[in-house]
Each structure stands twice: as C-alpha cells, then as structure tokens.
C-alpha cells in the first residue's frame, strides 16, 4: 500500500491556483505567437525561428509546471517564487529576440509580478519585482533589432497596434487570473474568520461543560448521603405516620436527580465519541414527547400530528438541546406550548415550538443562542448550548418573537437511510 501523503493548507492553496497560473502562461504564449504572425504580415523578423520556438517551449514548461503543482505541490512559497522568476527570464529572452524594450509586449513582464504580489509573502514579492525590473533594464541595454532591413513606417504602425493589443490583453489577464486569485483569498479569509468565531464559541462551551461535569461529580456524594438518610428515616418512622409519604416523595426526587446525573455522564461519553443514531423523525419526536412528559407531567404541551417519517441523525446531546428549548417555552408559557414537525421544501426537517410567552419579545430574529445572555426566564446558557449542539449536527436555530408569543424553529438535515435505520424499521 503506498504511503498516504498529507498536504498542508499552503500546498492545497498551490493546487487550487495552479490552473490560474496555467491560464496566464498559455495566454502569454498565445499572445506571443499571434504577435509574431501579425508582425510577419508587415515586416520580416530577424529571429523568426527563435521567436516561434521559445513560446512553444514556454507552453511546454507551463504544462509541466501545472502538473507539478497539481500532483506534488511545493511545501513552501520559495519554489513558487523561483518559477515566477523563470517566467520573467523566458519572457525577457523572447523580448530580447523581438526588439527588446521597444517591443510593445514588454508589459507582459508585469503579469508574473502581479501574481507574485497576490500569492507570495512581501519579501518574496519584492524579490520577484526586483527581478522583473532587472530583466527590463537588461532589455534596455541589450537587445536585437526586430528586422535586418529598414521599415521605419511599418515598425511605427506595428508598435502602435501592439501597444493597444498589449493593454487589452494585459487587462483581461489581470481580470481573469489575478482577480480570481484575489476572490479566492477573500473567500479563505471569510472562512478563517468563521472558524475563529466557532473556536471561540467552542471554548465557551468547553468551559461550561467542564463546570457542569465538576458540579455533577461533587453532587454525587451529597445525593448518596441524603438517600441513606431518607432510608434510615423511613425505617425509623412508625407505621402510618404521615411523614412516611413525604419521605417516599423525597426518595423519588433523589432518585430522579441521580438519574439526571447518570444521563449527563452518558451524554458526555456519547458526545466525546461522536456517536450518532439515525432514526425516523416520527420515532425521534415520540422519544422527545416521552422525555418531556416525564420531566413536566402537568405541562400543557400540544404535540401536533402528523410527523414525517424522514430519517435524521440524532444523539443524546441533541435531545437535551430540544428539551432545553421546550423547558424555556414551558417556563414562559405554562398554559400552552405547541410542538410540530414537518419536512421543509429545502429537504430539511423543521421542528417548530410555539408558546404565548414574551421571553423573546426583544430578541432580534436570527440571533437566538449566538451568545450567553442573562434572562429571568432562563433564555441564556441553555439556549446557547442548544444552538451550539444543533449547529454541530448541521442544523440551525431560529426565533421569531411577536405580541402573540414566541416561535422557535429548529432545522435539521435529513440523512440518507442507513443499515441501522433499516434494521430498526424492520
């Protein structure tokens, strides 16, 4: 088995820009050959054979460089700088054979410099620029005449036409090549900014998770102590004493607290191993309904039907995220909460939670859960963690507040049916 080759971010960038460099070089080759053909209609070139062979060799070199950048991208920008300097030398040699600095196509020397400014660090860009100026200066000092004869009128007209063609072609190449590279760099900068924001949010989540784990660990000992005390008090209480019922209720509540701590530990393990379960949306919503009934047996939650049967990838952290949203809705509107699920037009599952509360009346749409906020109704850390969990699974959390209440929309991607799903359905 061949060894796996790992590419750095810079190498991937070189692969992406290779076709732009190839396009620039082939455009230069085409312009050189076309200019030779046009010049031959007006004058007889002194070095026609050399002037034709050199662009063809330049085209072969451009193709080989493209293959190199694509299959074995360099590990540093120094190799790119060297290649661009070679471009300047080859263009300079061709200009030397076709009139030197009097050739209107001398502006082609600007193209490798422009690419270097976009791709390379400042120091290497300066080196390529100095190389370009040195090539131009050499052409001023040393060059060969375009023709052996005297064709001053034709040469002047050819020079004027060549200046127009050079300007138009250089502008087009800069627009297509350098412009495309600049747009790609802006896209990468936007992606990096988004990644930085995600990392900052994840750091907050990790801090909250560590605090929750520490609290859960510390709560285990006092819960066990209280459970033992309740058992001793029950055994010591006389038969028929009213305190027995209170102790039984306290024991059940302590058991519920212990169950929640165990669920927290299992959810942490599942999140760490990134285990996802693919379920039909109908079964997942039924599981949410069962959990909500156990948590809030007296809450007026309306579970609307029907529920689509599309498959979704879920885990315990997603269940907790949705239950956090429901907890906020029940707190803000104890008299009525509605939950509905539907398959959106864009191929995503939409879970809508509505209530008559005013917890989000002052919250702009689309900012729910973007950061931790303070709220008397509990719309703070819980929704922040819920939003982070939903986004981690490729979903979104949206909110819309009005005078009639609050509507929260949870969108989740619909996954393809898997073997696990097929087995559960069977």
- At 332-346, the pLDDT tens digits run 888 899 999 998 877
Q: In this predicted model, which residue has the larger pLDDT, 86 or 16?
A: 86
**Mean pLDDT, to the nearest integer, of 274-297?**
85
182 pLDDT more than 50: yes
**Mean pLDDT, to the nearest integer, of 257-284?**
72
Angle at alpha carbon of residue 200, lines to 267 and 277, rounded to 5°? 25
420 confidence band (pLDDT: 50, 70, 90): very low
The span from the CA of 43 to the CA of 146, in Å, is: 9
Terminal CA-to-CA distance of the chain, rounded, Å?
39
20 pLDDT more than 60: yes
DSSP 130-170: HHHHHHHHHHHHS---S-SS--HHHHHHHHHHHHHHHHHHH
282 confidence band (pLDDT: 50, 70, 90): very high
Q: Tell me, what's the pLDDT at 62?
A: 87
Instruction: Residue count of the chain, please give it.
Output: 426
Q: What percent of the chain is modeled with pLDDT above 70?
A: 74
Q: In this predicted model, which residue has the larger pLDDT, 164 or 318?
A: 318
Q: Tell me, what's the pLDDT at 83?
A: 87
Q: Tell me, what's the pLDDT at 368?
A: 55
Across 7-80, where does the E strand assignment appear? Answer: none
Q: Return the C-alpha torsion angle 168, 171, 176, 180, nearest 10.
A: 180
DSSP 80-126: HHHHHHHHHHHHHHHHHHTTGGGSGGGGGGHHHHHHHHHHS-HHHHH
Q: Half-sphere exposure (CA, 13 Å, Cβ side) for 112?
A: 30
Q: How far are the Cα atoms of 21, 119, 120, 310, 397 from residue 346, in angstroms, in the given order? A: 38, 38, 41, 13, 16
Q: Tell me, what's the pLDDT at 45?
A: 76
366 pLDDT more than 60: no
User: Among the listed ranges 96-110, 129-143, 269-283, which one has the minimum average pLDDT value?
Assistant: 269-283
365 pLDDT more than 50: no
Q: Tell me, what's the pLDDT at 272?
A: 55
The span from the CA of 400 to the CA of 407, in Å, is: 5
Q: Tell me, what's the pLDDT at 155?
A: 60
373 pLDDT more than 70: no
The span from the CA of 381 to the CA of 238, in Å, is: 45
Q: Which residues lie below 8 Å from residue 118, measured CB to CB, with a gap of 6+?
A: 178, 181, 182, 185
159 pLDDT more than 70: no
Angle at alpha carbon of residue 71, lines to 69 and 76, rounded to 5°? 45
375 pLDDT more than 50: no
Query: Which helix H or strand E contains 407, and what residues bound it?
Result: strand 405-413
Q: Tell me, what's the pLDDT at 338?
A: 92
Q: Judge if pTM exceeds 0.75.
A: no
Q: Tell me, what's the pLDDT at 134?
A: 94
Q: Tell me, what's the pLDDT at 381?
A: 58
Q: Tell me, what's the pLDDT at 302?
A: 92
pLDDT digits 0-9 by tens, 219-262: 777 888 888 888 888 888 787 777 888 888 888 888 888 877 77
pLDDT digits 0-9 by tens, 40-99: 777 777 778 888 899 999 999 888 888 887 777 767 778 888 889 999 999 999 988 888
418 pLDDT more than 50: no
148 confidence band (pLDDT: 50, 70, 90): low
Q: Tell me, what's the pLDDT at 330?
A: 87
Q: Tell me, what's the pLDDT at 39?
A: 77
404 pLDDT more than 80: no
């Amino acid at each position: 088995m061949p060894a796996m080759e790992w590419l750095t971010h810079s190498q991937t960038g070189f692969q992406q820009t290779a076709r732009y460099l190839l396009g620039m070089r082939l455009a230069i080759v085409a312009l050189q050959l076309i200019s030779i053909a046009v010049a031959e209609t007006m004058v007889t070139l002194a070095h026609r054979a050399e002037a034709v062979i050199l662009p063809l060799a330049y085209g072969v070199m451009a193709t080989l460089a493209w293959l190199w950048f694509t299959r074995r991208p360099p590990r540093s920008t120094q190799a790119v700088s060297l290649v661009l300097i070679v471009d300047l030398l080859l263009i300079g040699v061709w200009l030397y054979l076709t009139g030197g600095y009097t050739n209107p196509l001398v502006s082609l020397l600007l193209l490798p410099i422009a690419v270097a400014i976009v791709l390379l660090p400042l120091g290497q860009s300066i080196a390529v620029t100095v190389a370009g100026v040195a090539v131009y200066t050499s052409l001023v000092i040393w060059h060969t005449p375009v023709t052996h004869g005297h064709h001053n009128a034709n040469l002047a007209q050819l020079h004027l036409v060549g200046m127009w063609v050079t300007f138009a072609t250089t502008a087009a190449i800069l627009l297509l090549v350098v412009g495309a590279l600049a747009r790609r760099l802006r896209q990468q900068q936007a992606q990096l900014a988004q990644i930085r924001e995600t990392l900052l949010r994840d750091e907050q989540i990790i801090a909250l998770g560590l605090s929750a784990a520490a609290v859960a660990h510390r709560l285990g000992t006092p819960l066990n102590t209280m459970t033992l005390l309740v058992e001793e008090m029950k055994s010591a209480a006389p038969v028929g004493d009213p305190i027995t019922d209170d102790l039984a209720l306290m024991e059940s509540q302590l058991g519920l607290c212990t169950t929640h701590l165990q669920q927290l530990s299992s959810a942490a393990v599942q999140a760490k191993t990134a285990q996802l379960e693919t379920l039909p949306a109908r079964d997942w919503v039924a599981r949410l309904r069962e959990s909500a009934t156990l948590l809030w047996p007296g809450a007026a939650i309306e579970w609307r039907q029907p529920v689509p049967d599309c498959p979704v990838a879920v885990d315990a952290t997603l269940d907790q995220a949705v239950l956090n949203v429901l907890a906020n809705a029940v707190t803000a509107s104890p008299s009525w909460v509605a939950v509905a699920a539907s398959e959106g037009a864009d191929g995503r599952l939409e879970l809508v939670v509505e209530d008559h509360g005013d917890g989000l009346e002052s919250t702009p749409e689309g900012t729910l859960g973007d950061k931790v906020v303070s709220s008397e109704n509990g719309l703070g850390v819980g929704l922040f963690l819920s939003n982070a969990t939903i986004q981690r699974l490729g979903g979104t959390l949206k909110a819309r507040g009005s005078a009639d209440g609050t509507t929260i929309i949870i969108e989740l991607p619909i996954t393809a049916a898997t073997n696990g799903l097929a087995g559960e359905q069977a």
